[in-house]
Structure 1
């Protein structure tokens, strides 16, 4: 069964499931929907009729098949090229890979793919091999005795992760990675799920990974990721899941439908220990030590765990009114694990009717929404009862907005509000009739700003800096594209450098030294860098620091010990330094056209457009408002913010 329209078939398929579920079991309904493929699925059930556990496993897979599908079509070949080519041409960069594919074959067209449902296409031999091999691994591994049957069904048995094209993968990945665990399997720690997972993650992280977020949106890539090791957090999380399942480790994917401080979803891996406690990890990032879920640092709002089984509790809660259920909850293959991550700061959100701009109907479903650029996406739901909205299990330090769904469209019923992380207090962003003058320096948080905190500027009259003076220390995140430090008068120096803080790889975009605080022409000199590191190296790129372009930068190869500077040829006075952090072009750019908005219940109100004449913008904005700055000239990264003590606080 193939469809070219991806959304309505999913809705119709799910609606049929619900209507039939009133009288038939999920397994019976699945077999009905299988149509001509029913005989293949019945072969599996008959094959395991004398093995009760494997029969239950087969039933589990089949009864949830109506909610799973693959994408197929010629466009997949083009899509896979992004990841395969990047894995062997990473030195060229992801932009080169993307642009070269587009130039040769055109842009990837997701809509040209066909959705093929598992229930009508998966064959008996495929399922039987998957079930048998899953049980083999579960029973043979020393830690298998600590994996419950329920966790086995959900996190080891499933033959697919998302909507990837189906293929055989278990045995090949097992043969490749199972020997990595031989060193621990026969030790006293051989049955310790955490210890085994740690060994595996360390091994997985030894080989390079190729991270990028610029490739086009598409379906799950599939088990070839284990070879390619390329993509964003979604793909790298999938990579680890394939290995976990092939080796019988009870883990999977936890996710935010929208990350609390970004505009996109976010994914990472979890593992369940013998006590069913959750630990998180990510290949190449947090793999050195498995951490307890409650220590996960990103602002979350809501966290869900991906499952193979349909969450029939959510289905029942929403009564599956298909026309008025947002996409994320129409086919909920997930369960809420926010309470596990939030732990003691888990909040039960309660908002009274007098805080709303529109009063819902009694008993109406209310959706909790989070910001994605200028949109608000549903991430949770609750009820309006007795003049109060009730939404359970919410972590704070995130800005939300409330909506109901009517006539297949969201109707927003509140202004944006902040849920305080520790107190649980709620603060609405209510624009005041009073306006104040504000200065804007950026449109999106630049992570590299933090990489300069603790960096120092040093001066010396010795080429090896054996005797040196510290002339300036960066004590806070550089707030703008071009930052200035005025220095007290001191003795002349021939050599100067910026020395990056420990563990930050010495990131810097632009650097200039001036003889006088009033000078506009920078001192000239010969570039100097750490011994053994050649200027122009493709990794370090020292020359970018003095090329006059604040959108090129250096990133030192090693986490510590990085620096870059100038030899003036003779001692000179230095009374001013200007510097730009490494950045992704999210500071205010001179010459670009910007527009500032503030949030109201029903949308965003413009405060006007401006062309930047420097690295800052000035506006008059309502006090107390939530704001959003759009760049009409370039770029996609923009984020909601408020003004606090005259500075932007990006959320």
Structure 2
């Protein structure tokens, strides 16, 4: 059984209890049945709050959505985490060296480890502490009036983010960051409070980046000591901090962006007017938490990580704990897209092209030979796909929405032109920020391996505009050694980092 089949079967079990909600809260009954011997622990929580209607409903929310949630806790994960700890302890800025990272990952797949379902292992004490601490900050923070109880349940109350080991993290993060917030901001504007704290993290956090996930979520306790990982760990850390302080913060992501050829995730704050403000406190540009801001990345389709299980078309693709929120970013839209005449079935996949193959980002219904595509980003090329034995194949011509109309990329083989392509997508601000770190870099040559005497080949006085750059220096004689020296950091504690892939 392949991974896709496993996901669909697991998801269908979730759909069952999501769709059968009726009088008497059948979803809660289903969850308690799934708990088996652990049912007594969950009923302790319900009995504990029987005289507090609001906390009782919060407990019911967590329990009814608990099936499907769980984490990996195994000694074999510790040896991999040790590499990540060492990177932080050695004060390695920027990226974790690939050799150390990959040496630990070869042949290791954490998904083969036993997973502990929350519904079978959750203790009453843990759940009660989580609920009590959540209500404490909700009742005391001045911005609590900005969001409803339903928002509180989904955006503040959840005790976990993904498949991390469970920690009693709320009080730990509250005690650490509440005094910091009080020292930085004393007003009542929720957006500005998050902005001030996020800017502080951007300025002070020396985050060691890795290039791959291949680990369960690292967990709140680990991230409180070691800021290391990918964009996933950056957003996880932000969720722990802001939820511990009563802010309604969640995580959005895209599975693939054609403009930078990988996935990405970021945080989102639910504003007092019901809108959503995306932010990522480690963004290289002058990105702050403010209304109407955007990072400029092409996203295609956007999904939100949720604790509540959803009954929607995304269930069979990415599991019940992802919600399609693309319309929040690009508005609602719907298009009928042509597919090949020989395509059968009631649905097809929607994908994007990547150098390693098509990346699936949605599943769409098929009616009368046309795919009904909803809520996609204009200006992004999508590919209708079919899937057979795990292999994705085109089901029609690529298309893109331009000015509200579907444009197909159907080749005219009778015509040929020559084009000089410098960039596939515009140079966005966040990319410009990365490339600007090259300004001031120097390239030297020498016949002394220690460069006690050297000749300067060139100094980069302006930001490069493309990835591949040629420079033809005039040198006085042949040299054996070449050295690239990045520019000094912007401030003493900043990360000295060079965005260079190859020098030849």
Q: Shift of residue 108 of structure 1?
A: 4.1
Q: For residue 448 of structure 2, what is the aligned residue in structure 1?
A: none
Q: Check whether the contact 2:281–2:287 (CA below 8 A) recurs between aligned residues.
A: no
Matched, 1:523 2:481: no
CA distance in structure 1 between the aligned counterparts of 2:183 and 2:436, rounded to whole angstroms? 41
Q: For residue 389 of structure 1, what is the aligned residue in structure 2?
A: 371
CA distance in structure 1 between the aligned counterparts of 2:282 and 2:144, rounded to whole angstroms? 26
The 5-angstrom pairing of residues 217-296 of structure 1 reads 217-223=214-220, 224-285=222-283, 289-292=288-291, 295-296=294-295
Q: For residue 348 of structure 1, what is the aligned residue in structure 2?
A: 334
Between structure 1 and structure 2, the one with the greater Rg is 1
Q: For residue 310 of structure 1, what is the aligned residue in structure 2?
A: 309
* Post-superposition CA distance 1:23-74 (Å, at most 9, x none): 5621111111111111111111111111111111111111111121101212
Q: For residue 360 of structure 2, what is the aligned residue in structure 1?
A: 378
Q: Shift of residue 405 of structure 1?
A: 4.9
CA distance in structure 2 between the aligned counterparts of 1:22 and 1:276, rounded to whole angstroms? 26
Stretches of structure 1 that go unaligned for 5 or more consecutive residues are: 458-493, 515-521, 526-545, 561-580, 590-651
The 5-angstrom pairing of residues 132-531 of structure 1 reads 132-183=132-183, 187=186, 189=187, 191-215=188-212, 217-223=214-220, 224-285=222-283, 289-292=288-291, 295-314=294-313, 325-326=316-317, 328=318, 331-343=319-331, 347-352=333-338, 356-361=339-344, 364-405=346-387, 410=392, 412-420=394-402, 422-430=403-411, 432=413, 451=435, 498-501=459-462, 512-514=472-474, 522-523=475-476
Residue 547 and residue 558 in structure 1: after superposition, are their counterparts in 2 closer, same or farther (change >3 A)? farther
Stretches of structure 2 that go unaligned for 5 or more consecutive residues are: 442-454, 492-497
Q: Shift of residue 371 of structure 1?
A: 2.5
Residue 163 and residue 558 in structure 1: after superposition, are their counterparts in 2 closer, same or farther (change >3 A)? same
CA distance in structure 2 between the aligned counterparts of 1:113 and 1:135, rounded to whole angstroms? 35
SS at match of 1:175: helix
CA distance in structure 2 between the aligned counterparts of 1:365 and 1:448, rounded to whole angstroms? 40
SS at match of 2:253: strand
SS at match of 2:77: helix
Residue 198 and residue 430 in structure 1: after superposition, are their counterparts in 2 closer, same or farther (change >3 A)? same
CA distance in structure 2 between the aligned counterparts of 1:509 and 1:449, rounded to whole angstroms? 17
Q: For residue 48 of structure 2, what is the aligned residue in structure 1?
A: 47
Q: Which structure has more RCO (C-alpha within 8 Å, separation ≥ 6)?
A: 2
CA distance in structure 2 between the aligned counterparts of 1:91 and 1:455, rounded to whole angstroms? 22
Q: Check whether the contact 2:87–2:208 (CA below 8 A) recurs between aligned residues.
A: no
Matched, 1:33 2:34: yes
Q: For residue 494 of structure 2, what is the aligned residue in structure 1?
A: none
* Bigger mean CA deviation after superposition, 277-286 or 134-143: 277-286
Q: Check whether the contact 1:73–1:112 (CA below 8 A) recurs between aligned residues.
A: no
Q: Shift of residue 377 of structure 1?
A: 2.4
Q: Check whether the contact 2:174–2:245 (CA below 8 A) recurs between aligned residues.
A: yes
CA distance in structure 2 between the aligned counterparts of 1:338 and 1:147, rounded to whole angstroms? 22
* Post-superposition CA distance 1:196-231 (Å, at most 9, x none): 101211222232332423355121111121321122
Q: Check whether the contact 1:365–1:383 (CA below 8 A) recurs between aligned residues.
A: yes
TM-score (norm 1): 0.64
CA distance in structure 1 between the aligned counterparts of 2:347 and 2:105, rounded to whole angstroms? 46
CA distance in structure 2 between the aligned counterparts of 1:205 and 1:294, rounded to whole angstroms? 17
* Post-superposition CA distance 1:134-188 (Å, at most 9, x none): 0001111111121211111111100001111111111111000001121466x4x
Residue 426 and residue 291 in structure 1: after superposition, are their counterparts in 2 closer, same or farther (change >3 A)? farther
TM-score (norm 2): 0.81
Count of paired positions? 475
Q: Alpha carbon RMSD of aligned pairs, Å?
A: 4.0
Q: For residue 451 of structure 2, what is the aligned residue in structure 1?
A: none
* Post-superposition CA distance 1:605-636 (Å, at most 9, x none): xxxxxxxxxxxxxxxxxxxxxxxxxxxxxxxx
Q: Shift of residue 430 of structure 1?
A: 2.8
Residue 129 and residue 100 in structure 1: after superposition, are their counterparts in 2 closer, same or farther (change >3 A)? same
SS at match of 1:270: strand
